[in-house]
Structure 1
């Protein structure tokens, strides 16, 4: 692709449970999305501010797109996601919903007509519009089939409930953690109560042993029990904080919410719910374990502003 020089860049700002992003419409792949530009756009003082930058680009314009189109020829659009530090990321569960809402605004997807198949570096993801659960005050929810999940530690980690140790500043002693893979890496550890959850200092990255070769997201979770919904479904509830690799603590993390629910479900054992409401600082999302071995994430997506950025002012 050929990069086009420009003095201004039109952007949109959006968030999913306050996991926020700068969104770019680059269908033809003409923007030079450098590490430096991503950092400048995501900077909360000198730029627009965001946990990451998401670019809409035609799948055919990226090298990774060939595998996506081989899997699903209808996946016309690719979610090119970058962390706030400029690093390339495989996936972002909240970002997928915001990406879908952005495509809807651009007129590139009609949720009344079909589900959306989109490309990511973690494969094809499928999005649909769903009803907002009773008692939750959001306006619009989208559900994303996040694909297959696995415990990298296998049956042994499942039986022990852990395959790592995690040291978090503000939390006494290293705690056992369970690795969960959702196309990107996570380690989940349980805390005892609200006081411990609040005391954790996530301004510094938790130390995970053994050290993950490509880094990892770390979720601190507090299980809140289970109850029956009005339709009889058994629903678990979890409260979570997260430190995202390449970003720091964020108000929410979609794949992290899935990892948290899957870890607590593993610890609960036989008879545990397949549906979980995960409370994060930015709101609530729903995680559903599907019979196919996939996991679905549902939650809100909000587009809050558009702007024309003076690129010369960023430098």
Structure 2
């Protein structure tokens, strides 16, 4: 694509728990979206509107463009022929997005490019490695969710952070002082702060980005989470529940963040373990846009499950 030339782009609008995206199918791998064009597409007044833009492109094309992560993806999983090229609303490149992976999968499925009937699920490439997606039943039986193996997670602060529960400090506008926070990495960076009351969570002013110290090299998403305790499901499984709001780097506050929900659940689980409480592996995380399920898997990976919906399609002309 020649920069500056008017270009008609077919798009689909989709969301996962109201974390919304503009999706573009670039099956030949020859679409070069500039940061300005991404900002135009994501603009809620002058464009289509979304928390980010997702380009579906051949993983081989991403490799040809010089991104070695795409070579790593194909070496790990040759079936991961499609790549989720994710951009934040401000035009910056992001490693991946948990809600975006599910919406990407629904988009690929609508194009006939994803086989979720395969026993191993649908494999796709991201800048955080290979992700695998399968269909699961929604917890209330109301329909189908997508479950994503998000891969390995870790605490950048290591065992010391796990023991003390913090390795950073976060200040939110309106607070008298910064509060302790825990860094969690899921291929993209997160900083999680615990709050005691749901009322305080509702009152938070996230119109301004929280201050984080120390600031991670690539910035960070900030999750504010209220642990809501544990409950037993009808099947007898003990699960945890938490409520969260999130400020995403390059975007602002969003209605949901999939990797953020994982980070929040894993942080609450870490804090509970530090306090001597047996670890609960399954968590339901309430976000303003809906409900997500997070599971800590035995192999050190984490799984995210939730809905994905494609809303409408159209064409937009960009300079």
TM-score range, shorter chain: over 0.9
Asked if 1 retains the 8 angstrom alpha-carbon contact of 2:6 and 2:317, the reply is no
Task: Specify the SS of the correspondent of 2:201.
Answer: helix
Counterpart check, 1:310 vs 2:314:
no
Structure 1: distance between partners of 2:130 and 2:6: 31
Q: For 1:163-242, list aligned pairs within 5 A.
A: 163-242=167-246
Q: For 1:118-197, list aligned pairs within 5 A.
A: 118-134=124-140, 137=142, 139-197=143-201
After TM superposition, give the deviation of residue 110 of structure 1 in Å.
Answer: 2.5
Structure 2: distance between partners of 1:125 and 1:55: 16
After TM superposition, give the deviation of residue 272 of structure 1 in Å.
Answer: 2.3
Runs of 5+ unmatched residues, structure 2: none
Structure 2: distance between partners of 1:212 and 1:250: 20
After TM superposition, give the deviation of residue 3 of structure 1 in Å.
Answer: 5.6
Q: C-alpha root-mean-square deviation of aligned residues, in Å?
A: 1.3
Structure 1: distance between partners of 2:255 and 2:190: 16
Q: For 1:1-315, list aligned pairs within 5 A.
A: 7-63=7-63, 64=67, 65-114=70-119, 115-134=121-140, 137=142, 139-269=143-273, 270-312=277-319
After TM superposition, give the deviation of residue 231 of structure 1 in Å.
Answer: 1.3
Runs of 5+ unmatched residues, structure 1: none
Give the structure-1-normalised TM-score: 0.95
After superposition, give the CA deviation of every residue in 1:202-224 in whole Å (9 maximum; x if it has no partner).
11110011122211000000000
After superposition, give the CA deviation of every residue in 1:251-286 in whole Å (9 maximum; x if it has no partner).
000000000000000011141210000000000000
Task: Specify the SS of the correspondent of 2:130.
Answer: strand
Structure 2: distance between partners of 1:194 and 1:95: 27
Asked if 2 retains the 8 angstrom alpha-carbon contact of 1:188 and 1:263, the reply is yes
Structure 2: distance between partners of 1:7 and 1:297: 36
Structure 1: distance between partners of 2:77 and 2:113: 17
Task: Specify the SS of the correspondent of 2:311.
Answer: strand
